[in-house]
A and B are shown apart, each in its own frame.
Chain A
Amino acid sequence: MSKRTITLIVVTVALAVWWPGAALAAEEQFPSKSDPSCLKCHPAYEKTPNLLAGRFVDVAAKSKSLQLQIGKENEVIFFDDATVLKNAPEYKKIDKNEAVRITYVKRDGKSYAKEVEVKKGLQVAKEKLMEAEELAKLVAQGPEKGKYVLLDSRPTDNYDQGYIPTAKSFPHFAFDNLMEKVLPKDKDILQIYYCAGYT
């Protein structure tokens, strides 16, 4: 046994002990790639092997492949009948730009998905959820009559391109800088937050 092989075994065993998914550690590992927007909330993705996280672009049913936007690049990932699809009835039903997390392996230079999960984001308690219909009623009344403040958490560029009427721009990443300017003095007034969907 070469020195290199021994080192590899030691590292693998160490990883197997350290890593919760010990069963996986014996298999070959492939580098993780994540879109910056995913890493903001999930910094651990960077160190998780076999993981691709990004925004859904499209799917080609005939070649059984899908595209994920990760940073400025698009990744092409193939799937088959053994691929587990989570939180979507079929690939065609995944909306463009939805956050998707994929566990993958490389075979013959191609990336194969073992699992494709459409991210449903943080759990929000039911009583804190607002539905489109209820929001539409408030928006029709306007902030003064409806007694609410509607806040758009997306970056300013996205806001400029299109937002819910009466919403104020309040990007999540600038929360601390903007809170004094944007947030109301009244602590009891209804505040409603939204962004580009489940992230």
Chain B
Amino acid sequence: MSARKAEALGYKNVKVFHAGLPAWKKAGQPVVSNVANIENLNKTDGSYILVDFRSKDEIEKGHIPKAVAAPGGDVNALKDQFPKFKRAVTILYNKEGNVAAALDAYKMISGWGYNQVSILDGGFDAWQKAGKQVATGPAQTKIAYVKKLAPGEVDLPVFQKLASGESKDKAVLDVRNADENKECAIAGAIHIPLDQLEGRLADLPKDKEIVIHCATGIRAEMAQNILQKAGLKSKFVKGDLSFDRDPQGKCIAKIAE
């Protein structure tokens, strides 16, 4: 442990914030991120939300590319544009990286349930000082956030088609429990509860891609891991599904709003 190493070097006043960053966030304290992080996100094509708190004039003179404007840190007007995905990386900045000045907005967005919010350390000044690209003119008018699919995650439109019986080259696997499956299940879906999956791999088609679903995505992801290890081609549906019957009594699976 670093603290012990420091003590061994003769430092006499060494302490440990043992609960670490998770506890800091839980206590409602703000987190900052840096210029290198934005660069890394750009390099890896990671989507993120960038909000500029400076005045309209300052923004037009120069801002970080992709930023949307919320002069004075008034983020309320942007609320409807935030994605459903609560782990969306969100970076807030003002001129000099003043954490106290950005705190109200930080708390408000965190309060909406977003848990990857940070304030840019050093603000726009640090960005400029690092010699990074600056965009001029008005900021973006809308948040354009594209959620990146997790490894093995299926595109939702693909699943929607599948659920309505439109694509025949794929198989649907329901890994929910028997009682859940009995209540409402997608027509033609293979049903194997997750806890029986390893013993029943032989029941699955070898020549088709298998799209796995449950009710929330958690069991489906676990099942996808199992199939992947068994060498079967598969994807899983991440996110909450709702199951309802249409007037004809047919079971319809929908991604919950």
Contact = CB atoms under 8 A, between A and B. Distances in A.
Given A130-B17, A191-B11, A194-B20, A160 B33 contact: yes
Given A62-B177, A162-B116, A194-B21, A151 B222 contact: no
12 contacts: A60-B222, A63-B177, A64-B195, A65-B219, A67-B222, A67-B225, A74-B221, A76-B226, A110-B199, A132-B23, A164-B31, A183-B9
A136 B193 CA distance: 47
B5 A175 contact: yes
A67 to B, nearest CB: 5
A192 B17 contact: yes
A198 B6 contact: no
A122 B23 contact: no
B130 interface: no
Contacts of B9: 179, 183
Size category, B interface: 35 or more
Q: Which of A60, A128, A189, A193 has the most CB of B within 10 A?
A: A60
Nearest to B195: A63
A107 B177 CA distance: 20
B10 interface: yes
B24 A132 contact: yes
A74 B37 contact: no
Given A62-B219, A197-B22, A75 B225 contact: yes
A28 interface: no
B16 A132 contact: no
A195 B20 contact: yes
Contact of B18 (A63, A121, A157, A190): A121
A160 B225 contact: no
B218 A191 contact: no
B166 to A, nearest CB: 29
A89 interface: no
A27 interface: no
A81 interface: no
Given A132-B29, A160-B40, A63 B2 contact: no
A121 B3 CA distance: 14
B21 A132 contact: no
- 3 closest A-B pairs by CB: A194-B17, A63-B194, A197-B20
Interface in A32-82: 58-60, 62-65, 67, 73-76, 78
B17 A193 contact: yes
